[in-house]
Structure 1
Amino acid sequence: MSVVDFDLSDRDFWARPMGERREAFDRLRRLDSPAFFEEPEVSFAPKGPGYYALVRHADILEASRTPEVFSSGEGGATNIPDMPAEFAEYFGSMINMDDPRHARLRRIVSRAFTPKMIKQFETDVESAAVKIVDDLLAKGPGCDFVTEVAARLPLKIICDMMGIPERDYGFVFDRSNIILGGFDPEYTGPDLGQLAEKLLTAGMELQQLVQDLAAHRAEHPTNDLTSSLVNANIDGEQLTLQELGSFFILLVVAGNETTRNAISHGLRLLTTNPDQRALWLSDPEAYTGTAVEEIVRLASPVNFMRRKVTRDHTMNGHLYRKGEKAVLYYWAANRDPAVFEDPERFDITRHPNPHVGFGGPGPHFCLGAHLARREITVMFRELLRRVPGIEGGTPDRLHSSFINGIKHMECAF
């Protein structure tokens, strides 16, 4: 049983004020060994044996570097209860796999990101950011920064990369909100008993969208990523349609949600730290790189990933038994005072900054980290150049244990 008087598996814990969350994780880091929690109860999966909460930076680095012990494929990485078989068809992407299956998929997908394609999406990010700020200025203050700015950029870039037409942007946005909506009734409704059906329906609809596009691109290829993936032949290997569908879900959900939340948190951090805004504005060339890393560290858009232990293993003085689960809390590791001096302080000059906002080192480090950094960089460069006084109001936070999200935030300028 846990040795603390709060429960990370309690849905209400993730609706508490952020100060209470910080205090809770501070207490967990000070324990002599990782705290153990019962698993959350969900309607679509049997309750498992419980899990250890890894909250120290050192633990998360070591677990990430030893995937042969801390498995992503045994039951899935993106959920604490084991993923039911029917979910794997839509959400069984490479993030929920171990080698050699993980390495095979990552190899095929990585080879599709050619230098020409990377150059094209970097150009597209710049033009998209200009258009978004144009529209923001035309709309005026008082609008929702999340939906009008932060969410639009990654959604457009990922859909354009895949060749998804603009008429389907809203469809993709809505389905990705459902998949990562957590316990939030705005996205998943008040009846958690229907959550499984809603998740599976959203996954099926996104997969069908890209599979229909893939079938067309197989006969009529263009220069988009779907064409590259459906026609890729890497050492005689190709993605199946199911693998392509799962990768698309991973791309639109992970790439859209995480970057939009980093941008949203970034504006709030600038609003509550005017000295750092002034410093960034004083020399954007000098500070943008470190500012973006600091935003990702404090935003930590993905709260955790889960691993299952494949064999008895001692790590940092604690024995983990085969079959046990460990949850890697990146949000907590990014605030570990053993690594980050004054960890709650927003410091755009912080260097080095060994955060795990894109995951820990090892095979599951975020494939889209370069694109995410580029989008955050370009969006803030455009905002600070043209709307330097923009501020974000009180965030309306997502009720989720998995995503550190902001649903809505009014902006003023």
Structure 2
Amino acid sequence: MTQVESRPKPARPHHELDISSPEFWGKTFDERELTFARLRAEGGVTWHEPMGGGIPGAEKGFWAVTRHEDIVAVSRNHEGFSSAEGVSVTPLPKEVQQETSFFLVMDPPDHMAFRRLISAAFTPKQIARIQAQIEADARDIVDGLVGAGEIDFVSSCSAVLPMRTVSDMIGIAPQDREAVTRAAEVLFAGPTEEDLAAGVDGAALVRRQVQVLREAAIEIAQDRRRRPRDDLMTKLVQAEVDGRRLTDEQIGAFMVLLSTAGNDTTKQTTSHTLLALSRNPGQKRWLMADWPARIGTAVEEFVRYASPVMNFARVAKADTEIRGTAIQAGEKVGLFYCSGNRDESVFDRPGVLDLSRSPNPHVGFGGGGVHYCLGHTVAKTQLRALFRELLTRVPDMEVGEPEWLPHQFVHGIKRLPVHVR
């Protein structure tokens, strides 16, 4: 009997449109959107080369989910799509993602247990306390801008309020805030040009900054266990669900997550919004004509238009399908929020800033489900407070051309020159 030689299955061809290379992510948002629009028009999901910049050869590829409806469907289906294997579209070690993403890299029931514990940070009472401090910080920041002349808006304003809020929430002492802010910046932007010129090891630098953030929070947690106060950290160390409390290591991990998810997203939305308002003065006039009634819808459009977080990943738990396309167990699915927020089947004139847009079902805080952003109320509080101060006290800022931050995850503005009278 003749033995038939088995042959390996041919590799699935990658889509001809590139959304994986550093060159693609080095383009402008609008240039990338032309590609995402073509993918949305195909009506399904598409298979692409692994995202560049990660571990070479670690993955065969990923499915790109680019339509709003599909992003929402996958986001809400935690039983079919897992976060426990990692949430980065770029191939990165799971342990690295766990260090920086904490309970985001978990599925229920573990995810929900930690989410309930951490919800102590976001009760109505805590939000009210945080709001008063955010408003005071916003006033103080804009105090420093009045009459300042030529500034970089990112470092002088956008980057300041989010990390002040994080520091206030956690209880970081004023003398330690500069180091904590620097650590958070490095986790997103990587080493500075000065670091690279000095021959700094980028990976080692990131690991050190993660440790700076963890140790800062652990030191405060240990103090609050000995000397409780009426503050967030005390609530965190005392919170208990099903007999479980957060350990020092888990509180350290939460600090890393808060310093990234709670920092760069709001920072970038602030920068993008100022730039967009400067280019759309009619929208600014519309908002200021009835601020109390209009700021609510405006903030939602700030987030949609900025799309500060561009993607997250899930992994299929079992063989399944999305819009008729077969997805095999273990394959990665990339949720491209930047594309979902420009989906012309959901948003009228999606590339236009429209502060009156309502309804506005953007996916700037995720597509819903158990992983929906826990801090979305704090982020919107920051944006309302800061833009009220900016647009009433320094309304005539002259905004220059931004220097973009090439990044595969954050829609980033590195510098934004502004002249403040």
TM-score category by the smaller chain? over 0.9
Partner SS for 2:144 = helix
Tell me the amino acid that sits aligned with residue 15 of structure 2: V
Alpha-carbon contact 1:178-1:188 (below 8 Å) kept: no
Cα distance between partner residues in 1 of 2:300 and 2:345: 18
Alpha-carbon contact 2:54-2:92 (below 8 Å) kept: no
For the aligned residue pairs, the C-alpha RMSD in angstroms reads 2.1
1:266 — aligned with what? 273
Which digits, 9 at most, give the CA deviation of each residue in 1:188-211, with x for residues without a partner? 748999443232222122111211
Tell me: CA distance 1:28–1:100, structure 2 relative to 1, closer, same or farther (3 Å).
same
Long gaps (5+) in structure 1? none
2:30 to 2, 15, 19: 19
Alpha-carbon contact 1:41-1:47 (below 8 Å) kept: no
Partner SS for 2:326 = strand
1:106 to 115, 128, 137: 115
Cα distance between partner residues in 1 of 2:118 and 2:287: 36
Tell me: CA distance 1:84–1:115, structure 2 relative to 1, closer, same or farther (3 Å).
closer
2:412 to 395, 405, 410: 405
- 1:84 positional shift: 3.8
TM-score by length of 2: 0.92
Alpha-carbon contact 1:218-1:227 (below 8 Å) kept: yes
Q: 1:354 and 2:361 equivalent? A: yes
Tell me the amino acid that sits aligned with residue 4 of structure 1: E
Alpha-carbon contact 1:395-1:408 (below 8 Å) kept: yes
1:65 — aligned with what? 76
Cα distance between partner residues in 2 of 1:263 and 1:179: 19
Tell me: CA distance 1:56–1:192, structure 2 relative to 1, closer, same or farther (3 Å).
farther
Alignment of structure 1 residues 201-240 onto 2, 5 Å: 201-240=208-247
Q: 1:178 and 2:186 equivalent? A: yes
Alpha-carbon contact 1:290-1:349 (below 8 Å) kept: yes
- The count of aligned residue pairs is 408
Larger-gyration structure (1/2): 2
Tell me the amino acid that sits aligned with residue 332 of structure 1: S
Q: 1:300 and 2:307 equivalent? A: yes
Partner SS for 1:94 = helix
Cα distance between partner residues in 2 of 1:305 and 1:273: 30
Partner SS for 1:53 = strand
- 1:344 positional shift: 0.4
Alpha-carbon contact 1:44-1:196 (below 8 Å) kept: no
- 1:315 positional shift: 2.0
1:81 to 78, 81, 91: 91
Partner SS for 1:403 = coil
Alpha-carbon contact 1:309-1:322 (below 8 Å) kept: yes
Cα distance between partner residues in 1 of 2:290 and 2:32: 34
- The percentage of aligned residue pairs carrying the same residue is 37
1:390 — aligned with what? 397
Tell me: CA distance 1:3–1:21, structure 2 relative to 1, closer, same or farther (3 Å).
same
Cα distance between partner residues in 2 of 1:112 and 1:371: 10
Cα distance between partner residues in 1 of 2:104 and 2:194: 23
- 1:96 positional shift: 1.2
Tell me which moved more, 11-20 or 273-282.
Answer: 11-20
Which digits, 9 at most, give the CA deviation of each residue in 1:296-333, with x for residues without a partner? 00101101001100011122222211011011010110
Long gaps (5+) in structure 2? 1-12
Cα distance between partner residues in 1 of 2:200 and 2:328: 33
